[in-house]
């Protein structure tokens, strides 16, 4: 009896809480080609983020209904996948040519989200003789393959699935940890990009805007047209922060794999200040100001000069400095590896733009709508400053000094409010006992 087939419609998924449509920017497979479950199938661009979407199942692509460059609503049928079924109706992997007369022995479960897959497979652990170990927590063939190709030890991986099962996300988290590096611009990638641009300049070629550049342009033009931007700048002495950074930087780098920068200190001070200056943690709605209960902190991440994206740390109030630093590093890595989901960049209430690594003096950033403020952390340098002892005697010392530049929406408040917010951040950075944060 010949194998049966089942045709399944694949829809554009919900890519974020408020995302209603997406543009298919690239197909990685063609009609007639076989695709495996979790293999990258297409790239989609939304108003929030560009994402590579994996196939929800294994099978042969029967038909692609949406072309590259087409924008469609969530729930639209993108393609049809033909699944090969055995006599008992179980989905099989890719069949060999008909002349062979045989099919591969492996069988796959139908596509389901990770948490559902966990529940279905936890009670039926699968051993694989080709795996590095016989760890019964590794139930998925895909996860076993990923572990094997990455040369990982399953016993060292913490499983978050039901019953401690190791999921694909768990393995990717370990891989990300192993490959972590300082959250800074990669000079090699930047040099390669600049080299490509120079070659186009030399040849006189037109350099078209990428999708992310077009969307950035649209958003920035809208922001400038919407908000009357104003700028307030304040100088900060980071010597108090440097004392803690120098004390802990070696231990920190050894334990986390990345450097302890000024950014998490600024973030912690900003989050606390927003609680006391709530009109900055707000959005202009109609003829009034909507104050937000939670501080959802957006951090602008440069994608090696190809574009800018702002992942968000949700409900950041109360998160200690050490945890903030780790969250920022993880989000930056996800951003540069194009692994952010739409939810990762949704719901920000205030944004920090961190340009300090370039040694900038003062940056007038553009507000990320519908927010009312964006803070730029500029370069920190060693220079002479006037200091006073407890008796008021002044002297000259060498300290680390930098600027904080706040771009704000003049509809929401006035200059005194903006200055008061910055002054509180300055005082926190200069006088707080940061050692208690660790």
pLDDT computed for residue 159 by the predictor: 74
In a 3-state reduction of DSSP, which class is residue 33? coil
Structure tokens at 203: 């040849």
Fold (CATH) for 1-108? OB fold (Dihydrolipoamide Acetyltransferase, E2P) (2.40.50)
pLDDT computed for residue 212 by the predictor: 74
* Contact residues for 187 (Cβ-Cβ < 8 A; gap 6+): none
How far are the Cα atoms of 200, 309, 359 from residue 208, in angstroms, in the given order? 11, 19, 29
Q: Long-range CB contacts (< 8 A, 24+ apart) of 82-85? A: 82/5, 82/6, 82/7, 82/8, 83/5, 83/6, 83/7, 83/8, 83/57, 83/58, 83/59, 83/110, 84/3, 84/4, 84/5, 84/59, 84/60, 85/3, 85/4, 85/5, 85/6
* Burial group, residue 385, by CB count within 10 angstroms (0-12, 13-18, 19+): middle
In a 3-state reduction of DSSP, which class is residue 154? helix
CA distance 168 to 143: 5
CATH for 211-437 (1.10.443.10, 3.30.390.30, 3.30.559.10, 3.40.640.10): 3.30.559.10
pLDDT computed for residue 426 by the predictor: 98
CA distance 253 to 80: 48
Q: Residue 147 — φ and ψ, nearest 5°?
A: -65, -45
β-bridge mates for residue 388, sequence order: 394
Q: Residue 400 — φ and ψ, nearest 5°?
A: -90, 120
CA distance 181 to 133: 29
Q: Are 321 and 265 in contact (CB under 8 A)?
A: yes
* Contact residues for 65 (Cβ-Cβ < 8 A; gap 6+): 77, 78, 79, 80
Taking the CA atoms of the chain, what radius of gyration do you get in angstroms? Answer: 26
Cite the active site residues: 410, 414
Q: Are 217 and 308 in contact (CB under 8 A)?
A: no
In a 3-state reduction of DSSP, which class is residue 437? helix
Q: Closest Cα to residue 109, out of 56, 154, 147?
A: 56
Q: Closest Cα to residue 297, out of 374, 412, 407, 218?
A: 374
Q: Are 309 and 340 in contact (CB under 8 A)?
A: yes
H/E element holding 147?
A: helix 141-149
Task: Tell how strand 373-388 and strand 394-409 pair up.
Answer: antiparallel
Q: Closest Cα to residue 16, out of 292, 237, 346?
A: 346
The residues of the chain scoring below 70 in pLDDT are: 1-3, 16-19, 47-48, 85-142, 149, 160-164, 168-169, 172-173, 176-205
Residue keyed to tokens 């950014």: 263
Task: Tell how strand 373-388 and strand 350-354 pair up.
Answer: parallel
Structure tokens at 154: 């399953």
Residues of the chain with CATH 3.30.559.10: 211-437
Residues of the chain with CATH 2.40.50.100: 1-108
For 348-389, give the DSSP string: -SEEEEE-GGGT-S---PPP-TTBSEEEEEEEEEEEEEEEE-
pLDDT tens-digit series, residues 272-290: 999 999 999 999 988 899 9
Q: Are 376 and 368 in contact (CB under 8 A)?
A: no
For 305-360, give the DSSP string: TS-EE--EETT-TT--HHHHHHHHHHHHHHHHTT---GGGGS--SEEEEE-GGGT-
For 96-108, give the DSSP string: PPGGG----S-B-
DSSP-derived letter for residue 435 is: G
């Amino acid at each position: 009896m010949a194998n049966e087939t089942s045709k399944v419609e694949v829809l554009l998924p919900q890519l974020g809480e408020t995302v209603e449509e997406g543009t298919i920017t690239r197909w990685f497979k063609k009609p007639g080609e076989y695709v495996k479950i979790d293999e990258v199938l297409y790239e989609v661009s939304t108003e929030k983020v560009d994402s590579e979407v994996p196939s929800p199942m294994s099978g042969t692509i029967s038909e692609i209904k949406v072309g590259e460059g087409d924008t469609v609503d969530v729930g639209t049928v993108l393609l049809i996948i033909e699944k090969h079924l055995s006599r008992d109706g179980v989905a099989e992997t890719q069949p060999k040519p008909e002349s062979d007369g045989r099919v591969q022995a492996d069988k796959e479960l139908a596509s389901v989200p990770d948490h559902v897959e966990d529940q279905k497979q936890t009670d039926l652990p699968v051993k694989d003789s080709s795996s590095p170990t016989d760890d019964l927590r590794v139930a998925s063939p895909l996860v076993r393959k990923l572990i094997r190709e990455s040369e990982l030890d399953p016993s060292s991986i913490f499983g978050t699935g039901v019953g401690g099962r190791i999921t694909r996300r768990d393995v990717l988290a370990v891989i990300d940890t192993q490959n972590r590096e300082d959250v800074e611009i990669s000079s090699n990638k930047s040099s390669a990009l600049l080299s490509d641009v120079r070659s186009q300049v030399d040849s006189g070629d037109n350099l078209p805007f990428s999708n992310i550049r077009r969307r950035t342009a649209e958003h920035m033009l809208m922001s400038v047209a919407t908000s009357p931007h104003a700028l307030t700048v304040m100088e900060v002495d980071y010597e108090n922060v440097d004392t803690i950074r120098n004390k802990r930087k070696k231990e920190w780098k050894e334990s986390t794999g990345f450097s302890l920068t000024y950014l998490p200190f600024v973030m912690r001070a900003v989050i606390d200040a927003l609680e006391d200056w709530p009109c900055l943690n707000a959005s202009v709605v109609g003829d009034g100001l909507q104050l937000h209960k939670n501080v959802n902190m957006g951090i602008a991440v440069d994608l090696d000069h190809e574009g800018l994206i702002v992942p968000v740390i949700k409900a950041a109030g109360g998160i200690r400095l050490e945890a903030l630093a780790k969250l920022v590093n993880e989000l930056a890595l996800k951003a540069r590896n194009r692994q952010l989901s739409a939810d990762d960049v949704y719901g920000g209430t205030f944004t920090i733009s961190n340009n300090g690594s370039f040694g900038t003096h003062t940056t007038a950033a553009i507000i990320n709508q519908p927010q009312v403020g964006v803070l730029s952390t500029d370069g920190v340098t060693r220079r002479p400053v006037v200091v006073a002892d407890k008796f008021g005697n002044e002297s000259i010392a060498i300290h680390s000094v930098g600027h904080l530049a706040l771009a704000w929406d003049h509809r929401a408040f006035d200059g005194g409010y903006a200055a008061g917010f910055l002054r509180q951040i300055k005082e926190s950075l200069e006088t707080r006992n940061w050692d208690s944060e660790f």
